[in-house]
Amino acid sequence: MTTQEDLYAGTSETTEGRVFTVTGQDWDQIAEGLAEDAEERVVVNMGPQHPSTHGVLRLILELEGETVTEARCGIGYLHTGIEKNMEYRSWVQGVTFCTRMDYLSPFFNEATYVLGVERLLDIEADVPEKAQVMRVLLMELNRISSHLVAIATGGMEIGALTVMTIGFRERELVLDLFELITGLRMNHAFIRPGGVAQDLPAGALDEIASFVALMKKRLPEYAALCNANPIFKARLEGVGHLDLEGCLALGLTGPPLRASGYPWDLRKTQPYSGYEDYDFDVQTWDTADAYGRFRVRLAEMWESLKIVEQAAARLAGLEGAPVMVADRKIAWPSQLAIGSDGMGNSLDHIRHIMGESMEALIHHFKLVTEGFRVPEGQAYVPVESPRGELGAHVVSDGGTRPFRAHFRDPSFTNLQATSVMSEGGMVADVIVAIASIDPVMGGVDR
Amino acid sequence: MSPDEPTQGGARGTVDQAATDQSPENLPAPPEGQPGSQTVRQVGERRGMFGVKGSGDTSGYGGLRAAVRHPAATARPYGGWFDEVADALEVAARDAGVERAVESVVVHRGEITFHVRADDLLVLARLLRDEPRLRFELLSSVSGVHYPADTGHELHVVHHLLSMTHNRRIRLEVAVPDTDPRLPSLVPVYPTADWHERETWDMFGVLFEGHPSLTRILMPDDWPGHPQRKDYPLGGIPVEYKGGTVPPPDQRRSYS
């Protein structure tokens, strides 16, 4: 037919009709091609490699002109078999896997898995207070960073680039705190069965205090940029509408549920990790649309800041307290320490197992290579992740490895609402609707 | 109600053992609950200490056998609101003509599990959602578990239900045989089950009857097998890096 400049773009005839492959700005070709047949119905495959589908999400959209008549999601492009892999590693190593699932909220993945394991071990009451407070601190910092990305990428997808740049600017501060506390910016594997991996490093509380002070100045910028911005509101208001009934039927939790006016937050309704001791409010909005979800996220960041402050104040009084259960059959034998050659096992511990106690060496070897045993049974302890209810169904056969670990990821469940939120609307609104449920494909596909 | 007999567990030859071997910490732990009064079903067996297969037993622990037994069925009273839910469910199930729907109830670690007959699942789910005293509005999650040694009940499907009205969580567990892995789909009652059931089909090969389109969701459409079954290897390919070769995960050394 025509000579192609772009090898990857062109048209072909199939039994289903004419297929166009477009990669960027060559939509004119489709318009021309369609004009010949005067056909209005177009099926568009958006993604899986598309900058505004929030990751490797494939959208199959049936269009009549610019109206979406049918929207379906294709997922699985980021499936890495994390749940299967966890069955081949010890209970402690499982944390290293599941932290990689929803990569924007790693601490929540770790927390729900660890809470399930602790319930099976029956050590929920034995986890030291400092570990609980540190978990809450990290989870709330993580909620801020995750909501920042949700708002930033959501803004970027509708062309509000300033929202993106300032969103990532602030997220960087949170990642710096993570790096200071856990040693890593993501994939921390820091929350472990029985407690957390390490004590709070020196100077962390000062850094947290200055972060909170800075955020109190910067968070109003988002409100000033977006809340009453006519373009922003015009793009978000009334888009992706899903009321309470729809949320419950489709299993939506988190900001979409709270934006429909129902104050359901597991931190309040089914507290874990000592959330009942913190003073914060559940944020709701009553419009059940993308704008409401944005406002809920914005307000939740303020609440998270409140919790971070309270947790930091409690940590100031817990200096030197243990961060791991006292049970030596569960607690990791070694604490990490910074040496002249970087971070590693503490030299005191190495001296102890190599030079002083054969039993300590055996104990270290058994616990580190083989791991501890978890009694038979199953547990499901969900947490309120930034995207909704995140739960790990943990099953043990009494061995040293998870018999089965299944994650109920809120992105996976919430993404089912794509069709309901998008059909009947414009193509451009599909992007806003999906951004408003903030799916993270690492969590969707696991 | 359960056709399975209580098993003796994996404590083989404890009678012949030397007295030192019979110290309490060397004996298998008794199942939870009152010993003898409950039916405990063995669902599998763990072997050895280090899980090495296909090579000589250098650990000396290769002969160890440990029975895998799940927490026993609990007798009434279950405690707290568990009784309330169980009563309401019993009454509702009787009225709906499915009084044998719940086979057993397990209360373990503060969570309640109803083991349910596959045939009655859909009726029961509707009752759980609509009955004012139950009101489990949200189906949190559906997941599969594969117990290859649990003959006749190899594939378990676990539904986690949440009642926001009463702030309660329960679990429904359905066991189906590998030879006929069918159970009703809950999509008519809980539309959110759609993707969860597709994932369970994809990963375990469980057929949800009445599902609007039971197709693979995470794996490619033409993928052979169901990857999260226990008889499906972890797989992978050896990776070469700077002259060294890293074997695929399932061929590395493992620890059970």
Per 3-state DSSP, what percentage of chain A is helix, strand, and coil (rounded to 5)? Answer: 50, 15, 35
Minimum mean pLDDT among B14-18, B193-197, B251-255: which range? B14-18
Residue of chain A with shortest Cα separation from B49: A370
Do the Cβ atoms of B44 and A397 come within 8 Å? Answer: yes
Check whether residue B112 and residue B193 sit in a common domain.
yes
Minimum mean pLDDT among A32-46, A258-272, B232-246: which range? A32-46
pLDDT exceeds 90 at position B19: no
pLDDT band at B253 (very low <50, low <70, confident <90, very high): low
Do the Cβ atoms of A406 and B141 come within 8 Å? Answer: yes
Check whether residue B200 and residue B99 sit in a common domain.
yes
> For all residues of chain A together, what is the average pLDDT?
87
3-state secondary structure of B112: strand
Check whether residue B116 and residue B39 sit in a common domain.
no
3-state secondary structure of A396: strand
Secondary structure (DSSP) of A9-73: -EEEEETTEEEEE--SSTHHHHHHHHHHHT--EEEEEE-SS-TTSSSS-EEEEEEETTEEEEEEE
Check whether residue B107 and residue B189 sit in a common domain.
yes
Q: What is the pLDDT of residue A183?
A: 83
Instruction: Choose the closest CB to A270 out of B167, B171, B191.
Output: B167
Q: What is the pLDDT of residue A30?
A: 67
| B36 assigned to some structural domain | yes
Mean pLDDT (whole number) for A214-235: 88
Do the Cβ atoms of B140 and A391 come within 8 Å? Answer: yes
User: Token match 């059970």: residue?
Assistant: B256
* B219 touching A (Cβ < 8 Å): yes
Residue B139's CATH number: 3.30.460.80
Cross-strand pairs, A74: A58
Quickly list H helices, A105-243. Answer: 106-121, 129-157, 161-182, 204-222, 230-236
* A402 touching B (Cβ < 8 Å): no
The residue type found at A182 is T
pLDDT exceeds 70 at position A395: yes
Check whether residue B183 and residue B150 sit in a common domain.
yes
Instruction: Report the DSSP pairing between strands A10-14 and A17-21.
Output: antiparallel
| B3 assigned to some structural domain | no
Instruction: Choose the closest CB to A248 out of B137, B219, B256.
Output: B137
Mean pLDDT (whole number) for A140-167: 90
Which residues 16-75 of B are in CB contact (within 8 Å) with A?
A: 29, 43-44, 46, 49-50, 66, 68-71
Check whether residue B126 and residue B42 sit in a common domain.
no
Do the Cβ atoms of B46 and A399 come within 8 Å? Answer: yes
B132 cis-preceded (ω within 30 degrees of 0): no
Are residues B149 and B69 in contact, defined by beta-carbon separation less than 8 angstroms? no
Chain A residues with CB inside 8 Å of B29's CB?
375
d(CA B72, CA B180): 26
Q: What is the pLDDT of residue B255?
A: 55
Instruction: Choose the closest CB to A377 out of B70, B138, B190.
Output: B70
How many other C-beta atoms can be found within 10 angstroms of the C-beta atom of residue A103?
18
| B120 assigned to some structural domain | yes
Check whether residue B114 and residue B170 sit in a common domain.
yes
Check whether residue B124 and residue B54 sit in a common domain.
no
Q: What is the pLDDT of residues B39-86, one digit of tens each?
A: 566 777 777 665 555 555 666 666 777 788 888 888 888 888 888 888
Q: What is the pLDDT of residue A384?
A: 93
| B217 assigned to some structural domain | no
Which residues 247-276 of A are in CB contact (within 8 Å) with B?
A: 248-253, 262, 264, 269-270
Q: Which domain holds residue B45?
A: 31-69
* B164 touching A (Cβ < 8 Å): yes
CA distance B65 to chain A (A): 12
ipTM: 0.85
Percentage of the residues of chain B whose pLDDT score is greater than 90: 33
Do the Cβ atoms of B218 and A250 come within 8 Å? Answer: no
pLDDT exceeds 50 at position B5: no
pLDDT exceeds 90 at position A326: no
pTM exceeds 0.80: yes
Are residues A426 and A66 in contact, defined by beta-carbon separation less than 8 angstroms? yes
d(CA B67, CA B11): 8
- In this predicted model, which residue has the larger pLDDT, B25 or B215? B215
Chains A, B: CB pairs < 8 Å:
128
Q: What is the pLDDT of residue B6?
A: 42
Q: What is the pLDDT of residue A371?
A: 85
pLDDT band at A1 (very low <50, low <70, confident <90, very high): very low
* A371 touching B (Cβ < 8 Å): yes
Cross-strand pairs, A408: A391
Do the Cβ atoms of A400 and B256 come within 8 Å? Answer: yes
Q: Which of B194, B209, B224 is the last residue of a domain?
A: B209
Chain B residues with CB inside 8 Å of A265's CB?
none
Q: What is the pLDDT of residue B149?
A: 85
Check whether residue B87 and residue B196 sit in a common domain.
yes
Instruction: Choose the closest CB to A398 out of B66, B137, B196.
Output: B66
Quote the tokens at residue B16: 């012949």
| B136 assigned to some structural domain | yes
- Going along chain A from its start, the domains and CATH numbers come out as 10-74 (no CATH), 82-330+372-445 (1.10.645.10)
Chain B residues with CB inside 8 Å of A276's CB?
none
Mean pLDDT (whole number) for A215-239: 88
* B222 touching A (Cβ < 8 Å): no
Which residues 235-254 of B are in CB contact (within 8 Å) with A?
A: 249-250, 254
pLDDT exceeds 80 at position A215: yes
- Cβ neighbors of A278 (< 8 A, separation 6 or more) are A136, A306, A307, A310, A311
| B128 assigned to some structural domain | yes
| B214 assigned to some structural domain | no
* B129 touching A (Cβ < 8 Å): no
Check whether residue B64 and residue B164 sit in a common domain.
no
* A167 touching B (Cβ < 8 Å): no
Q: B8, B148, B3, B20: which is closest to B65 by C-alpha?
A: B8
Q: What is the pLDDT of residue A328?
A: 84
Check whether residue B118 and residue B166 sit in a common domain.
yes
CA distance A70 to chain B (A): 16
pLDDT band at A160 (very low <50, low <70, confident <90, very high): confident
> For all residues of chain B together, what is the average pLDDT?
79
CA distance B182 to chain A (A): 21
Q: What is the pLDDT of residues A362-386, one digit of tens each?
A: 888 888 888 888 888 899 999 999 9
pLDDT exceeds 70 at position A295: yes
Check whether residue B58 and residue B86 sit in a common domain.
no
Q: What is the pLDDT of residues A95-106, one digit of tens each?
A: 999 999 999 999
| B2 assigned to some structural domain | no
pLDDT exceeds 70 at position B2: no
Q: What is the pLDDT of residue B14?
A: 39
Instruction: Choose the closest CB to B218 out of A87, A270, A445.
Output: A445
Cross-strand pairs, A390: A383
Do the Cβ atoms of A416 and B194 come within 8 Å? Answer: yes
Domains contained in chain B, number: 2
